[in-house]
Structure 1
Amino acid sequence: MKRLQTTLLSTVMCLTFLAASAQKADEIISSYTGANASGYLQPLADVLTSTFNTGHIHKTSVDSGFHFYIGLTAFSTWFTDDKSRYFMGTTPNGFLPVQEVRAPTILGPREIVTVNGMNGTSYTFPAGLGTKSVLLAVPQITIGSILGTEFNVRFFGYDFGGDFGKLQFLGGGVRHDIGRYFLKNSRFRISAEYCYQKLNVGNYADLTTHKAGVYAGQQGKLFNYYAYVGYQNGAMNIDYQGSSDASPVHIPLTNKNPLLLAAGMGVRLWIFRLNVHGSFIRPVVAAASLGLSF
């Protein structure tokens, strides 16, 4: 149980910068095991998948010739909808009568839900962390172009030491200018991308994401804008030892929001590029990137 508490507390605190105290978060996270664990933790897979799959480009076009970009992308993700904040929890085995109730997820409100059973018994579904947004930032490098193709890399890591180990994130992507085959002498640009990303939370949890989609928009000397449609998949695994005499627990999670619809715009000021990007399918994600383009 201590490993589960450490794993999920570190995931939530490091990736969402929650303001909850360590003692309070520890009490909340350790409250759910068994049949309700997946429903309680599901929003983590949804939120982190959509967050990491946002804001990969800093301009609409894939420029010909050699170009190099290094920058920082910051994300803000909101999850105020009921599907992120609540799930249908079930009373545990042995509690009669069996009941299903609307209970908070790990990202839901700080409100407990108590149901009454036979012979004066009761069962309490614990509160969530009461958070409504995620803040995160990652560095990114983009290099191109080879035959109308550019490549990007995202990365960060931190070694907590001790039993927990390292928090590591590494992602890579490729984008190809497909408009070069049928759009000549036009500011309108169409490109296709694929991105793969991997997050490891010590030895206890991991997230793998895939994303593929198409950008379409206009590129000017100073300003650019685009729309985006794509597909994403995120698989999160949480593994822990429940107790010294129990079998290891494995909780697989998959994101429930595969469709990506987004739009963005950017501006170039000398060698500086500023780009803003918004993804509108639950959860809503806004990204802003600032970097140097050569």
Structure 2
Amino acid sequence: MIVPVEASGGLLDYAFPAGFNVDYMPLATPQVTIGSLLGTDLTIRYITLDLEDLGDLDLFGWGLRHSLNQYLTFLPVDVAIGYYNQSFKIGDYMDASAVLISLQGSYSVPVITFYGGLGIESSNIDVQYTYSREGEVADETIKFEMEGANSLRFTIGLTLNLGPVKINGDYNIAKQNTLSAGIGIGINQK
């Protein structure tokens, strides 16, 4: 379904896909973190799905996190800085990317790790599709770019450390608030 939007003065109109009428869209993504080498972890996430009419959905992200505790040994909490980059594509229709630079902290007690962070982020999205209006000969290509409204993100969360199994959940406060959860397996962890 296409939703037409009339421009000011009624001179032009634009057509946008009507969407799926959902408030949220869950997506599970496999992720691997390798480290620590000299206090640095590497995280990689990737998923690809075939969406039939739309083409492939591809999500690829990577990030580096470096511990500051090796330099600041007096700190009572674990502190790290991080850089993360992610791309998200759907066929030839959408190409989005995001970057996050963050300062992260955590404090562990038996079985629970509390964590939080402050990040500076940027994102952009390019959308392009062809609109066919009934009764007209020529198709119209709709194309636009947008930059994300987020600039600062505050994260607070906790992890349950159940031996090698880790269950985490966090809440991100930004222009667009998000809730995330995960389950993982830690190998050779302290």
Identical pairs, percent: 22
Question: How much does 1:254 deviate?
Answer: 1.3
Of 130, 141, 152, 1:259 maps to 152
Of 267, 279, 282, 2:175 maps to 282
Secondary structure of 1:132's counterpart equals coil
- Structure 1 residues 92 and 128, CA gap change in structure 2 (3 angstroms): farther
Structure 2, gaps ≥5 residues long? none
Question: How much does 1:178 deviate?
Answer: 1.4
- Structure 1 residues 232 and 165, CA gap change in structure 2 (3 angstroms): same
1:92 aligns with 2:10: yes
Of 89, 92, 96, 1:207 maps to 96
Give CA-to-partner distance per residue, 1:190-215, whole Å, 9 cap, x none. Answer: 10111111111011111111111111
Alignment-mate amino acid for residue 135 of structure 1: P
Question: How much does 1:91 deviate?
Answer: 5.6
Contact 1:187 1:220 in 2 (8 A): no
Of 166, 176, 189, 1:273 maps to 166
Distance in 1 separating the partners of 2:61 and 2:6? 32
1:238 aligns with 2:127: yes
- Structure 1 residues 132 and 166, CA gap change in structure 2 (3 angstroms): closer
Question: How much does 1:226 deviate?
Answer: 1.8
2:30 aligns with: 139
Aligned residues: 181
Contact 1:187 1:219 in 2 (8 A): no
Question: How much does 1:258 deviate?
Answer: 1.5
Give CA-to-partner distance per residue, 1:9-62, whole Å, 9 cap, x none. Answer: xxxxxxxxxxxxxxxxxx2xx113675xxxxxxxxxxxxxxxxxxxxxxxxxxx
- The residue correspondences of 1:110-121 to structure 2 (distance < 5 A) are none
Question: How much does 1:180 deviate?
Answer: 1.7
Structure 1 or 2: larger helix share?
1
Structure 1 or 2: larger strand share?
2
Give CA-to-partner distance per residue, 1:47-100, whole Å, 9 cap, x none. Answer: xxxxxxxxxxxxxxxxxxxxxxxxxxxxxxxxxxxxxxxxxxx463179xxxxx
- The residue correspondences of 1:28-39 to structure 2 (distance < 5 A) are 30-32=2-4
TM-score (norm 1): 0.55
2:106 aligns with: 217
- Structure 1 residues 287 and 204, CA gap change in structure 2 (3 angstroms): same
RMSD: 2.6
Secondary structure of 1:180's counterpart equals coil
TM-score (norm 2): 0.83
Contact 2:6 2:12 in 1 (8 A): no
Q: Which is further off, 209-218 or 237-246?
A: 237-246
